[in-house]
Chain A
Protein backbone atom coordinates (compact mmCIF):
# COMPACT_ATOMS: atom_id res chain seq x y z
CA UNK A 1 0.00 0.00 0.00
CA UNK A 2 1.36 3.43 -0.89
CA UNK A 3 2.11 5.65 2.04
CA UNK A 4 0.48 9.04 2.16
CA UNK A 5 2.54 12.20 2.29
CA UNK A 6 1.29 13.93 5.37
CA UNK A 7 0.68 17.68 5.21
CA UNK A 8 1.70 19.59 8.33
CA UNK A 9 -1.04 20.38 10.83
CA UNK A 10 -2.04 24.00 10.56
CA UNK A 11 -1.97 25.83 13.86
CA UNK A 12 -5.30 27.43 12.95
CA UNK A 13 -6.87 23.99 13.25
CA UNK A 14 -6.02 23.72 16.92
CA UNK A 15 -8.55 25.27 19.21
CA UNK A 16 -7.23 28.07 21.38
CA UNK A 17 -7.62 27.32 25.05
CA UNK A 18 -9.77 30.34 25.75
CA UNK A 19 -12.37 29.05 23.25
CA UNK A 20 -12.10 25.65 24.82
CA UNK A 21 -13.12 27.04 28.20
CA UNK A 22 -15.73 29.38 26.80
CA UNK A 23 -17.48 26.49 25.12
CA UNK A 24 -17.55 24.51 28.30
CA UNK A 25 -19.28 27.34 30.11
CA UNK A 26 -21.91 27.67 27.39
CA UNK A 27 -22.53 23.95 27.45
CA UNK A 28 -22.56 23.74 31.23
CA UNK A 29 -25.18 26.48 31.32
CA UNK A 30 -27.28 24.74 28.73
CA UNK A 31 -26.99 21.42 30.50
CA UNK A 32 -27.90 22.94 33.84
CA UNK A 33 -31.05 24.42 32.38
CA UNK A 34 -31.91 21.24 30.56
CA UNK A 35 -31.36 19.15 33.68
CA UNK A 36 -34.18 21.04 35.35
CA UNK A 37 -36.56 20.80 32.42
CA UNK A 38 -35.81 17.30 31.21
CA UNK A 39 -35.24 15.13 34.24
CA UNK A 40 -36.85 11.94 32.92
CA UNK A 41 -34.74 12.09 29.78
CA UNK A 42 -31.53 12.66 31.71
CA UNK A 43 -32.16 9.63 33.85
CA UNK A 44 -32.79 7.47 30.83
CA UNK A 45 -29.62 8.75 29.19
CA UNK A 46 -27.59 7.77 32.22
CA UNK A 47 -28.80 4.19 31.92
CA UNK A 48 -26.86 3.57 28.72
CA UNK A 49 -23.15 3.97 29.39
CA UNK A 50 -21.25 4.98 26.24
CA UNK A 51 -19.13 2.17 24.80
CA UNK A 52 -16.07 2.38 22.58
CA UNK A 53 -12.57 3.55 23.36
CA UNK A 54 -12.12 7.11 24.63
CA UNK A 55 -10.66 9.45 22.02
CA UNK A 56 -8.18 12.29 22.45
CA UNK A 57 -9.72 15.45 21.12
CA UNK A 58 -10.18 19.16 21.66
CA UNK A 59 -13.46 20.98 21.59
CA UNK A 60 -14.01 23.36 18.72
CA UNK A 61 -15.81 26.39 20.12
CA UNK A 62 -16.74 27.65 16.67
CA UNK A 63 -19.05 24.71 16.20
CA UNK A 64 -20.74 24.56 19.57
CA UNK A 65 -24.43 25.39 19.60
CA UNK A 66 -26.57 26.12 22.60
CA UNK A 67 -29.13 23.36 21.90
CA UNK A 68 -28.84 20.53 24.37
CA UNK A 69 -27.22 17.51 22.72
CA UNK A 70 -29.27 14.34 22.49
CA UNK A 71 -28.36 11.51 24.81
CA UNK A 72 -25.82 8.89 23.79
CA UNK A 73 -28.64 6.37 23.91
CA UNK A 74 -30.77 8.35 21.46
CA UNK A 75 -27.91 9.03 19.04
CA UNK A 76 -26.72 5.44 18.97
CA UNK A 77 -30.09 3.72 19.34
CA UNK A 78 -32.28 5.58 16.86
CA UNK A 79 -31.05 6.20 13.33
CA UNK A 80 -31.35 5.14 9.73
CA UNK A 81 -28.66 2.82 8.41
CA UNK A 82 -30.47 0.52 5.97
CA UNK A 83 -27.41 -1.73 5.71
CA UNK A 84 -28.53 -3.09 9.09
CA UNK A 85 -32.29 -2.98 8.58
CA UNK A 86 -34.97 -0.43 7.79
CA UNK A 87 -36.26 0.23 11.32
CA UNK A 88 -34.55 2.96 13.29
CA UNK A 89 -33.71 0.54 16.08
CA UNK A 90 -32.27 -2.06 13.67
CA UNK A 91 -28.78 -0.54 13.33
CA UNK A 92 -28.16 -0.71 17.09
CA UNK A 93 -29.53 -4.27 17.18
CA UNK A 94 -27.70 -5.64 14.12
CA UNK A 95 -24.46 -3.70 13.68
CA UNK A 96 -22.47 -6.01 15.98
CA UNK A 97 -21.51 -8.13 12.96
CA UNK A 98 -19.54 -5.28 11.35
CA UNK A 99 -15.75 -5.58 11.67
CA UNK A 100 -14.08 -2.17 11.51
CA UNK A 101 -10.50 -3.43 11.84
CA UNK A 102 -8.72 -4.15 9.61
CA UNK A 103 -10.30 -1.54 7.34
CA UNK A 104 -9.04 0.05 4.17
CA UNK A 105 -10.19 2.85 1.94
CA UNK A 106 -9.61 2.99 -1.79
CA UNK A 107 -9.07 6.42 -3.29
CA UNK A 108 -9.41 6.88 -7.03
CA UNK A 109 -10.32 9.12 -9.91
CA UNK A 110 -9.15 12.65 -10.55
CA UNK A 111 -6.48 12.91 -7.85
CA UNK A 112 -2.72 12.90 -7.62
CA UNK A 113 -2.56 10.45 -4.73
CA UNK A 114 -4.62 7.33 -5.31
CA UNK A 115 -4.54 3.78 -4.07
CA UNK A 116 -5.69 1.74 -1.10
CA UNK A 117 -4.89 3.00 2.36
CA UNK A 118 -5.33 1.49 5.78
CA UNK A 119 -7.67 3.25 8.18
CA UNK A 120 -4.62 3.92 10.38
CA UNK A 121 -2.89 5.77 7.52
CA UNK A 122 -6.05 7.71 6.84
CA UNK A 123 -6.59 8.81 10.44
CA UNK A 124 -3.04 9.26 11.73
CA UNK A 125 -2.23 12.87 10.80
CA UNK A 126 -5.54 14.37 11.84
CA UNK A 127 -5.96 15.86 15.28
CA UNK A 128 -9.50 15.20 16.48
CA UNK A 129 -11.94 17.86 17.55
CA UNK A 130 -15.47 17.84 18.88
CA UNK A 131 -18.20 19.73 17.08
CA UNK A 132 -21.80 19.90 18.18
CA UNK A 133 -23.88 19.71 15.05
CA UNK A 134 -27.57 19.80 14.32
CA UNK A 135 -28.68 16.72 12.43
CA UNK A 136 -31.84 16.90 10.33
CA UNK A 137 -33.29 13.75 8.81
CA UNK A 138 -35.26 14.02 5.56
CA UNK A 139 -38.08 12.34 7.53
CA UNK A 140 -38.57 15.59 9.50
CA UNK A 141 -36.98 14.57 12.80
CA UNK A 142 -33.78 16.02 14.18
CA UNK A 143 -31.09 15.60 16.81
CA UNK A 144 -28.14 17.50 18.22
CA UNK A 145 -24.97 15.44 18.16
CA UNK A 146 -21.50 15.99 19.66
CA UNK A 147 -19.40 14.41 16.93
CA UNK A 148 -15.66 13.87 17.14
CA UNK A 149 -13.68 14.02 13.91
CA UNK A 150 -11.74 16.31 11.62
CA UNK A 151 -12.49 18.55 8.63
CA UNK A 152 -13.26 16.52 5.50
CA UNK A 153 -11.24 19.03 3.46
CA UNK A 154 -8.07 18.18 5.40
CA UNK A 155 -8.37 14.55 4.32
CA UNK A 156 -9.38 15.23 0.72
CA UNK A 157 -6.51 17.66 0.19
CA UNK A 158 -4.01 14.93 1.06
CA UNK A 159 -5.09 13.12 -2.12
CA UNK A 160 -4.28 16.19 -4.24
CA UNK A 161 -7.47 16.34 -6.32
CA UNK A 162 -6.79 17.60 -9.87
CA UNK A 163 -8.51 20.53 -11.53
CA UNK A 164 -10.90 18.04 -13.15
CA UNK A 165 -12.15 16.87 -9.76
CA UNK A 166 -15.55 18.59 -9.68
CA UNK A 167 -17.25 16.01 -7.49
CA UNK A 168 -16.32 13.51 -4.82
CA UNK A 169 -18.16 10.25 -4.27
CA UNK A 170 -18.24 8.11 -1.12
CA UNK A 171 -19.10 4.42 -1.17
CA UNK A 172 -20.19 2.40 1.85
CA UNK A 173 -18.95 -1.14 2.48
CA UNK A 174 -20.75 -3.86 0.55
CA UNK A 175 -20.74 -7.11 2.50
CA UNK A 176 -24.09 -8.80 3.22
CA UNK A 177 -22.34 -11.08 5.72
CA UNK A 178 -21.46 -8.13 7.91
CA UNK A 179 -24.37 -5.95 6.89
CA UNK A 180 -27.49 -8.10 7.06
CA UNK A 181 -29.73 -5.37 5.62
CA UNK A 182 -27.89 -5.77 2.30
CA UNK A 183 -29.29 -9.30 1.92
CA UNK A 184 -32.46 -7.70 0.61
CA UNK A 185 -32.52 -5.33 -2.36
CA UNK A 186 -34.21 -2.49 -0.47
CA UNK A 187 -31.71 -0.12 -2.08
CA UNK A 188 -29.23 -0.53 -4.92
CA UNK A 189 -26.21 -1.58 -2.86
CA UNK A 190 -23.56 -0.46 -2.19
CA UNK A 191 -24.77 2.87 -0.82
CA UNK A 192 -23.24 5.79 -2.69
CA UNK A 193 -23.32 9.47 -1.92
CA UNK A 194 -21.57 12.40 -3.54
CA UNK A 195 -20.86 16.09 -3.11
CA UNK A 196 -19.72 18.90 -5.29
CA UNK A 197 -16.05 19.44 -4.54
CA UNK A 198 -16.66 22.92 -3.09
CA UNK A 199 -19.27 21.45 -0.74
CA UNK A 200 -16.88 18.71 0.33
CA UNK A 201 -14.10 21.26 0.94
CA UNK A 202 -16.34 23.51 3.01
CA UNK A 203 -15.13 23.89 6.61
CA UNK A 204 -18.45 22.58 7.94
CA UNK A 205 -18.07 19.24 6.14
CA UNK A 206 -16.85 16.91 8.85
CA UNK A 207 -15.22 13.48 8.79
CA UNK A 208 -16.55 11.70 11.85
CA UNK A 209 -14.76 9.04 13.86
CA UNK A 210 -16.45 9.38 17.22
CA UNK A 211 -19.38 10.60 19.26
CA UNK A 212 -19.52 11.80 22.86
CA UNK A 213 -15.73 11.59 23.04
CA UNK A 214 -15.65 7.91 22.18
CA UNK A 215 -15.01 5.83 19.09
CA UNK A 216 -18.00 5.77 16.79
CA UNK A 217 -20.22 2.73 17.38
CA UNK A 218 -20.82 0.53 14.32
CA UNK A 219 -24.46 1.55 13.99
CA UNK A 220 -23.48 5.18 13.42
CA UNK A 221 -21.16 4.42 10.52
CA UNK A 222 -17.86 3.24 12.01
CA UNK A 223 -15.05 3.48 11.42
CA UNK A 224 -15.41 6.58 9.26
CA UNK A 225 -18.40 8.60 8.09
CA UNK A 226 -19.05 12.11 6.93
CA UNK A 227 -21.53 14.53 8.43
CA UNK A 228 -22.87 17.51 6.53
CA UNK A 229 -25.01 19.42 8.98
CA UNK A 230 -26.71 21.63 6.37
CA UNK A 231 -27.95 18.65 4.37
CA UNK A 232 -30.48 15.92 5.09
CA UNK A 233 -28.90 12.99 6.89
CA UNK A 234 -28.91 10.59 3.95
CA UNK A 235 -26.19 12.69 2.25
CA UNK A 236 -23.73 11.72 4.98
CA UNK A 237 -22.21 8.43 3.85
CA UNK A 238 -21.30 5.91 6.56
CA UNK A 239 -18.70 3.12 6.89
CA UNK A 240 -16.80 4.47 3.90
CA UNK A 241 -14.56 2.14 1.85
CA UNK A 242 -14.14 4.19 -1.30
CA UNK A 243 -13.53 7.83 -2.12
CA UNK A 244 -13.56 8.80 -5.77
CA UNK A 245 -12.99 12.18 -7.40
CA UNK A 246 -14.77 12.74 -10.69
CA UNK A 247 -15.48 15.35 -13.31
CA UNK A 248 -19.13 14.39 -13.80
CA UNK A 249 -21.83 14.35 -11.15
CA UNK A 250 -22.09 10.84 -9.68
CA UNK A 251 -25.45 9.22 -8.96
CA UNK A 252 -26.48 9.00 -5.30
CA UNK A 253 -28.40 5.99 -4.00
CA UNK A 254 -31.62 7.58 -2.75
CA UNK A 255 -31.97 9.80 -5.83
CA UNK A 256 -31.67 6.68 -7.98
CA UNK A 257 -34.17 4.84 -5.82
CA UNK A 258 -36.85 7.56 -5.76
CA UNK A 259 -35.87 10.47 -8.03
CA UNK A 260 -39.10 12.35 -7.34
CA UNK A 261 -38.49 12.36 -3.60
CA UNK A 262 -34.72 12.67 -3.11
CA UNK A 263 -32.34 14.83 -5.08
CA UNK A 264 -28.59 15.26 -5.40
CA UNK A 265 -28.27 18.35 -3.23
CA UNK A 266 -30.65 17.46 -0.37
CA UNK A 267 -30.01 20.77 1.37
CA UNK A 268 -32.25 21.27 4.39
CA UNK A 269 -34.92 23.64 3.08
CA UNK A 270 -38.16 24.41 4.92
CA UNK A 271 -39.81 25.82 1.80
CA UNK A 272 -39.36 22.75 -0.40
CA UNK A 273 -41.58 19.89 0.78
CA UNK A 274 -40.96 16.22 0.40
CA UNK A 275 -43.82 14.96 -1.82
CA UNK A 276 -45.30 13.08 1.12
CA UNK A 277 -44.67 15.48 3.99
CA UNK A 278 -43.86 19.07 4.80
CA UNK A 279 -40.27 20.06 5.59
CA UNK A 280 -41.33 23.33 7.23
CA UNK A 281 -41.08 21.96 10.77
CA UNK A 282 -39.34 19.10 12.53
CA UNK A 283 -39.66 17.00 15.64
CA UNK A 284 -36.59 17.12 17.87
CA UNK A 285 -35.94 13.64 19.23
CA UNK A 286 -35.84 13.47 23.01
CA UNK A 287 -38.56 16.01 23.73
CA UNK A 288 -41.00 13.34 24.81
CA UNK A 289 -44.57 12.73 23.77
CA UNK A 290 -45.91 16.26 24.15
CA UNK A 291 -42.99 18.26 22.77
CA UNK A 292 -43.88 20.91 20.21
CA UNK A 293 -42.58 20.77 16.67
CA UNK A 294 -39.99 23.36 15.87
CA UNK A 295 -39.48 25.33 12.69
CA UNK A 296 -36.87 23.95 10.33
CA UNK A 297 -34.20 26.51 9.51
CA UNK A 298 -32.83 27.18 6.03
CA UNK A 299 -29.72 25.02 5.56
CA UNK A 300 -30.54 23.64 9.02
CA UNK A 301 -29.42 26.89 10.62
CA UNK A 302 -26.07 27.01 8.78
CA UNK A 303 -27.19 29.47 6.08
CA UNK A 304 -24.60 32.08 7.09
CA UNK A 305 -21.82 29.63 6.33
CA UNK A 306 -23.11 27.72 3.29
CA UNK A 307 -25.70 29.83 1.43
CA UNK A 308 -22.91 31.26 -0.73
CA UNK A 309 -22.25 27.82 -2.21
CA UNK A 310 -25.63 27.86 -3.92
CA UNK A 311 -25.89 31.36 -5.32
CA UNK A 312 -27.74 31.33 -8.61
CA UNK A 313 -28.90 27.75 -8.12
CA UNK A 314 -32.65 27.07 -8.27
CA UNK A 315 -33.05 25.26 -4.96
CA UNK A 316 -36.61 24.23 -5.79
CA UNK A 317 -35.48 22.35 -8.84
CA UNK A 318 -32.17 21.22 -7.32
CA UNK A 319 -33.74 19.80 -4.16
Chain B
Protein backbone atom coordinates (compact mmCIF):
# COMPACT_ATOMS: atom_id res chain seq x y z
CA UNK B 1 0.00 0.00 0.00
CA UNK B 2 1.39 3.34 -0.99
CA UNK B 3 2.07 5.92 1.73
CA UNK B 4 1.17 9.47 0.88
CA UNK B 5 3.99 11.95 0.26
CA UNK B 6 2.73 13.94 3.20
CA UNK B 7 3.08 11.01 5.56
CA UNK B 8 6.42 10.00 4.13
CA UNK B 9 7.82 13.45 4.91
CA UNK B 10 6.14 13.66 8.29
CA UNK B 11 7.07 10.25 9.58
CA UNK B 12 10.20 9.25 7.68
CA UNK B 13 12.17 12.01 5.93
CA UNK B 14 11.77 14.75 8.49
CA UNK B 15 12.56 12.59 11.55
CA UNK B 16 15.53 11.12 9.63
CA UNK B 17 16.84 14.61 8.85
CA UNK B 18 16.24 15.62 12.47
CA UNK B 19 18.29 12.69 13.78
CA UNK B 20 21.03 13.26 11.21
CA UNK B 21 21.26 16.89 12.34
CA UNK B 22 21.73 15.75 15.93
CA UNK B 23 24.71 13.49 15.17
CA UNK B 24 27.46 16.16 15.52
CA UNK B 25 25.95 17.36 18.80
CA UNK B 26 25.68 13.80 20.10
CA UNK B 27 29.32 13.18 19.19
CA UNK B 28 30.46 16.33 21.00
CA UNK B 29 28.44 15.55 24.13
CA UNK B 30 29.55 11.91 24.22
CA UNK B 31 33.15 13.02 23.70
CA UNK B 32 32.95 15.50 26.57
CA UNK B 33 31.50 12.77 28.80
CA UNK B 34 34.38 10.52 27.61
CA UNK B 35 32.02 7.85 26.34
CA UNK B 36 33.47 5.39 23.83
CA UNK B 37 33.14 7.55 20.72
CA UNK B 38 35.95 8.86 18.48
CA UNK B 39 38.00 10.92 20.91
CA UNK B 40 37.92 14.70 20.88
CA UNK B 41 41.70 14.59 21.29
CA UNK B 42 44.07 16.50 23.53
CA UNK B 43 42.22 19.79 23.14
CA UNK B 44 38.49 19.01 23.39
CA UNK B 45 37.47 22.67 23.58
CA UNK B 46 38.99 23.57 20.24
CA UNK B 47 37.65 20.34 18.79
CA UNK B 48 34.08 21.00 19.89
CA UNK B 49 34.36 24.59 18.67
CA UNK B 50 35.39 23.14 15.31
CA UNK B 51 32.64 20.51 15.22
CA UNK B 52 29.94 23.11 15.86
CA UNK B 53 31.47 25.66 13.49
CA UNK B 54 31.88 23.18 10.64
CA UNK B 55 28.38 21.82 11.17
CA UNK B 56 26.99 25.36 10.95
CA UNK B 57 28.74 25.92 7.62
CA UNK B 58 27.72 22.49 6.32
CA UNK B 59 24.08 23.05 7.22
CA UNK B 60 24.16 26.54 5.68
CA UNK B 61 25.34 25.09 2.39
CA UNK B 62 22.82 22.22 2.57
CA UNK B 63 19.98 24.68 3.29
CA UNK B 64 21.08 26.79 0.34
CA UNK B 65 21.14 23.66 -1.85
CA UNK B 66 17.45 22.95 -1.38
CA UNK B 67 16.23 25.44 -4.00
CA UNK B 68 18.72 24.41 -6.71
CA UNK B 69 17.92 20.75 -6.00
CA UNK B 70 14.24 21.45 -6.35
CA UNK B 71 14.83 23.17 -9.68
CA UNK B 72 17.05 20.33 -10.80
CA UNK B 73 14.75 17.48 -9.81
CA UNK B 74 11.44 19.30 -10.07
CA UNK B 75 10.57 17.90 -6.65
CA UNK B 76 8.92 20.75 -4.74
CA UNK B 77 8.49 18.52 -1.67
CA UNK B 78 12.14 19.09 -0.80
CA UNK B 79 11.10 22.50 0.50
CA UNK B 80 9.43 20.75 3.42
CA UNK B 81 12.89 20.00 4.85
CA UNK B 82 14.25 23.51 4.53
CA UNK B 83 12.93 25.00 7.76
CA UNK B 84 14.31 22.14 9.81
CA UNK B 85 17.74 22.54 8.19
CA UNK B 86 17.67 26.30 8.68
CA UNK B 87 16.73 26.09 12.35
CA UNK B 88 19.48 23.53 12.98
CA UNK B 89 21.93 25.88 11.26
CA UNK B 90 21.07 28.47 13.89
CA UNK B 91 21.24 25.91 16.72
CA UNK B 92 24.80 24.93 15.76
CA UNK B 93 25.88 28.54 15.33
CA UNK B 94 24.55 29.21 18.81
CA UNK B 95 26.33 26.15 20.24
CA UNK B 96 29.53 27.31 18.54
CA UNK B 97 29.11 30.74 20.15
CA UNK B 98 28.29 29.29 23.60
CA UNK B 99 31.36 27.03 23.42
CA UNK B 100 33.43 30.11 22.65
CA UNK B 101 31.85 32.10 25.52
CA UNK B 102 32.07 29.37 28.16
CA UNK B 103 34.70 26.64 27.76
CA UNK B 104 36.93 28.66 25.41
CA UNK B 105 36.88 32.13 27.02
CA UNK B 106 35.81 31.03 30.50
CA UNK B 107 33.03 33.67 30.63
CA UNK B 108 35.67 36.39 30.72
CA UNK B 109 33.39 39.16 29.47
CA UNK B 110 36.18 41.70 29.15
CA UNK B 111 38.11 39.32 26.88
CA UNK B 112 34.95 38.55 24.90
CA UNK B 113 34.04 42.19 24.36
CA UNK B 114 37.62 42.94 23.38
CA UNK B 115 37.52 40.10 20.86
CA UNK B 116 34.23 41.36 19.42
CA UNK B 117 35.55 44.86 18.97
CA UNK B 118 39.17 44.19 18.02
CA UNK B 119 39.10 40.96 16.03
CA UNK B 120 37.24 41.38 12.74
CA UNK B 121 36.66 37.65 12.22
CA UNK B 122 34.88 37.45 15.55
CA UNK B 123 32.82 40.55 14.72
CA UNK B 124 31.83 38.93 11.43
CA UNK B 125 30.86 35.68 13.09
CA UNK B 126 28.81 37.46 15.72
CA UNK B 127 26.99 39.52 13.09
CA UNK B 128 26.14 36.32 11.22
CA UNK B 129 24.83 34.77 14.44
CA UNK B 130 22.50 37.74 15.07
CA UNK B 131 21.13 37.46 11.55
CA UNK B 132 20.59 33.73 12.00
CA UNK B 133 18.74 34.51 15.21
CA UNK B 134 16.38 36.83 13.33
CA UNK B 135 15.71 34.14 10.75
CA UNK B 136 15.18 31.43 13.36
CA UNK B 137 12.71 33.58 15.32
CA UNK B 138 10.72 34.42 12.18
CA UNK B 139 10.78 30.86 10.86
CA UNK B 140 7.33 29.97 12.23
CA UNK B 141 4.12 29.89 10.20
CA UNK B 142 2.78 32.76 12.29
CA UNK B 143 5.66 35.04 11.36
CA UNK B 144 5.43 33.97 7.73
CA UNK B 145 1.79 35.10 7.67
CA UNK B 146 2.47 38.30 9.54
CA UNK B 147 5.41 39.42 7.40
CA UNK B 148 3.88 38.34 4.09
CA UNK B 149 6.15 39.47 1.22
CA UNK B 150 8.65 40.91 3.60
CA UNK B 151 9.31 37.46 5.04
CA UNK B 152 11.01 36.39 1.85
CA UNK B 153 12.98 39.63 1.72
CA UNK B 154 14.14 39.13 5.29
CA UNK B 155 15.11 35.53 4.70
CA UNK B 156 17.35 36.55 1.81
CA UNK B 157 19.71 37.48 4.66
CA UNK B 158 20.93 33.91 4.40
CA UNK B 159 23.02 35.02 1.40
CA UNK B 160 24.77 37.56 3.61
CA UNK B 161 25.10 35.00 6.40
CA UNK B 162 26.85 32.43 4.22
CA UNK B 163 29.33 35.04 3.00
CA UNK B 164 30.06 36.18 6.57
CA UNK B 165 30.29 32.59 7.81
CA UNK B 166 32.86 31.54 5.22
CA UNK B 167 34.76 34.78 5.71
CA UNK B 168 34.79 34.20 9.49
CA UNK B 169 36.32 30.78 8.92
CA UNK B 170 38.80 31.91 6.27
CA UNK B 171 40.15 34.72 8.45
CA UNK B 172 41.01 32.60 11.45
CA UNK B 173 42.84 29.87 9.56
CA UNK B 174 46.57 30.30 10.03
CA UNK B 175 48.12 29.15 6.80
CA UNK B 176 46.36 26.28 5.10
CA UNK B 177 43.35 27.79 3.30
CA UNK B 178 42.27 24.62 1.49
CA UNK B 179 39.20 23.99 3.62
CA UNK B 180 37.89 27.56 3.68
CA UNK B 181 38.51 27.62 -0.07
CA UNK B 182 36.23 24.60 -0.53
CA UNK B 183 33.50 26.31 1.48
CA UNK B 184 33.96 29.57 -0.43
CA UNK B 185 33.74 27.76 -3.76
CA UNK B 186 30.55 25.92 -2.83
CA UNK B 187 28.96 29.06 -1.41
CA UNK B 188 29.93 31.03 -4.51
CA UNK B 189 28.41 28.34 -6.74
CA UNK B 190 25.14 28.35 -4.80
CA UNK B 191 24.91 32.14 -4.90
CA UNK B 192 25.92 32.26 -8.57
CA UNK B 193 23.14 29.86 -9.45
CA UNK B 194 20.61 32.18 -7.86
CA UNK B 195 22.05 35.22 -9.64
CA UNK B 196 22.00 33.36 -12.95
CA UNK B 197 18.37 32.28 -12.48
CA UNK B 198 17.24 35.73 -11.52
CA UNK B 199 18.97 37.24 -14.51
CA UNK B 200 17.33 34.71 -16.77
CA UNK B 201 13.95 35.53 -15.29
CA UNK B 202 14.64 39.23 -15.72
CA UNK B 203 15.68 38.94 -19.37
CA UNK B 204 12.69 36.77 -20.26
CA UNK B 205 10.35 39.31 -18.69
CA UNK B 206 12.10 42.18 -20.47
CA UNK B 207 11.32 40.39 -23.72
CA UNK B 208 7.72 41.47 -23.15
CA UNK B 209 6.69 44.66 -24.93
CA UNK B 210 7.78 47.71 -22.97
CA UNK B 211 7.09 51.39 -23.33
CA UNK B 212 10.26 53.25 -24.13
CA UNK B 213 10.53 56.43 -22.21
CA UNK B 214 13.73 57.72 -23.72
CA UNK B 215 15.05 57.79 -27.19
**Are the CB atoms of A278 and B43 closer together than 8 Å?**
no
CB proximity of B122 to chain A, nearest CB, Å: 9
**Are the CB atoms of A78 and B41 closer together than 8 Å?**
yes
User: A301 on the interface (CB 8 Å rule)?
Assistant: no
Task: Choose one: B103, B111, B115; the contact of A290 (CB below 8 Å).
Answer: B103
| Chain B interface residue count, Cβ-Cβ cutoff 8 angstroms | 26
Which residues between 33 and 51 of chain B lie within 8 Å of chain A, taking CB atoms?
Answer: 34, 40-46, 48
A292 in contact with B44 given A40-B34, A277-B119, A280-B111 (CB within 8 Å): no
**Are the CB atoms of B114 and A283 closer together than 8 Å?**
no
User: A187 on the interface (CB 8 Å rule)?
Assistant: yes
Most interface-central of A139, A286, A288 (chain B CB within 10 A): A288
**Are the CB atoms of B175 and A73 closer together than 8 Å?**
no
Task: Choose one: B42, B104, B114, B176; the contact of A73 (CB below 8 Å).
Answer: B42
Q: Which of A82-90, A98-106, A116-124, A203-211 contacts B (4 or more CB under 8 A)?
A: A82-90
CB proximity of A93 to chain B, nearest CB, Å: 12
A281 in contact with B111 given A276-B119, A276-B121, A289-B48 (CB within 8 Å): yes
CA distance A74 to B41 in the complex (A): 8
| B105: A residues at CB distance < 8 A | 293
| A89: B residues at CB distance < 8 A | 41
User: B106 on the interface (CB 8 Å rule)?
Assistant: yes
**Are the CB atoms of B106 and A292 closer together than 8 Å?**
yes
CB proximity of B45 to chain A, nearest CB, Å: 6
CA distance A243 to B121 in the complex (A): 39
User: B108 on the interface (CB 8 Å rule)?
Assistant: yes
**Are the CB atoms of B43 and A82 closer together than 8 Å?**
no
CB proximity of B209 to chain A, nearest CB, Å: 57
Task: Choose one: A86, A286, A290; the contact of B42 (CB below 8 Å).
Answer: A286
| Interface 0/1 of B94-114, CB less than 8 Å to A | 000000000111101001001
Name which residue of chain B comes closest to A280, CB basis: B111
Which residues between 140 and 184 of chain A lie within 8 Å of chain B, taking CB atoms?
Answer: 141, 184
**Are the CB atoms of A289 and B103 closer together than 8 Å?**
yes
| A276: B residues at CB distance < 8 A | 119, 121, 171-172
CA distance A58 to B104 in the complex (A): 38
CA distance A286 to B45 in the complex (A): 10
CB proximity of A98 to chain B, nearest CB, Å: 20
User: A249 on the interface (CB 8 Å rule)?
Assistant: no
Name which residue of chain B comes closest to A82, CB basis: B175
| A281: B residues at CB distance < 8 A | 106, 108, 111
Name which residue of chain B comes closest to A76, CB basis: B42
User: A27 on the interface (CB 8 Å rule)?
Assistant: no
**Are the CB atoms of A77 and B42 closer together than 8 Å?**
yes
CB proximity of A275 to chain B, nearest CB, Å: 8
A86 in contact with B43 given A278-B115, A289-B32 (CB within 8 Å): no
User: A257 on the interface (CB 8 Å rule)?
Assistant: yes
User: B212 on the interface (CB 8 Å rule)?
Assistant: no
**Are the CB atoms of A78 and B43 closer together than 8 Å?**
yes
Task: Choose one: A40, A257, A278; the contact of B175 (CB below 8 Å).
Answer: A257
| A73: B residues at CB distance < 8 A | 42
CA distance A276 to B103 in the complex (A): 19
User: B145 on the interface (CB 8 Å rule)?
Assistant: no
**Are the CB atoms of A289 and B175 closer together than 8 Å?**
no
Task: Choose one: A187, A273, A293; the contact of B108 (CB below 8 Å).
Answer: A293
User: B174 on the interface (CB 8 Å rule)?
Assistant: yes
**Are the CB atoms of A86 and B45 closer together than 8 Å?**
no
A78 in contact with B111 given A40-B34, A276-B119, A289-B32 (CB within 8 Å): no
Q: Give 5 closest A-B pairs by Cβ, nearest first.
A: A78-B42, A86-B176, A74-B42, A289-B32, A293-B106
Q: Interface of B with A (CB < 8 Å)?
A: 32, 34, 40-46, 48, 103-106, 108, 111, 114-115, 118-119, 121, 171-172, 174-176
Q: Interface of A with B (CB < 8 Å)?
A: 40, 73-74, 77-78, 82, 86, 88-89, 139, 141, 184, 186-187, 257, 273, 276-278, 280-281, 283, 285-286, 288-290, 292-293
Give 23 CB contacts A-B under 8 Å: A73-B42, A74-B42, A78-B42, A86-B174, A86-B176, A88-B41, A141-B43, A184-B176, A186-B175, A273-B118, A276-B119, A276-B171, A277-B115, A277-B119, A278-B115, A281-B108, A283-B43, A288-B44, A289-B32, A289-B40, A289-B44, A289-B48, A292-B106
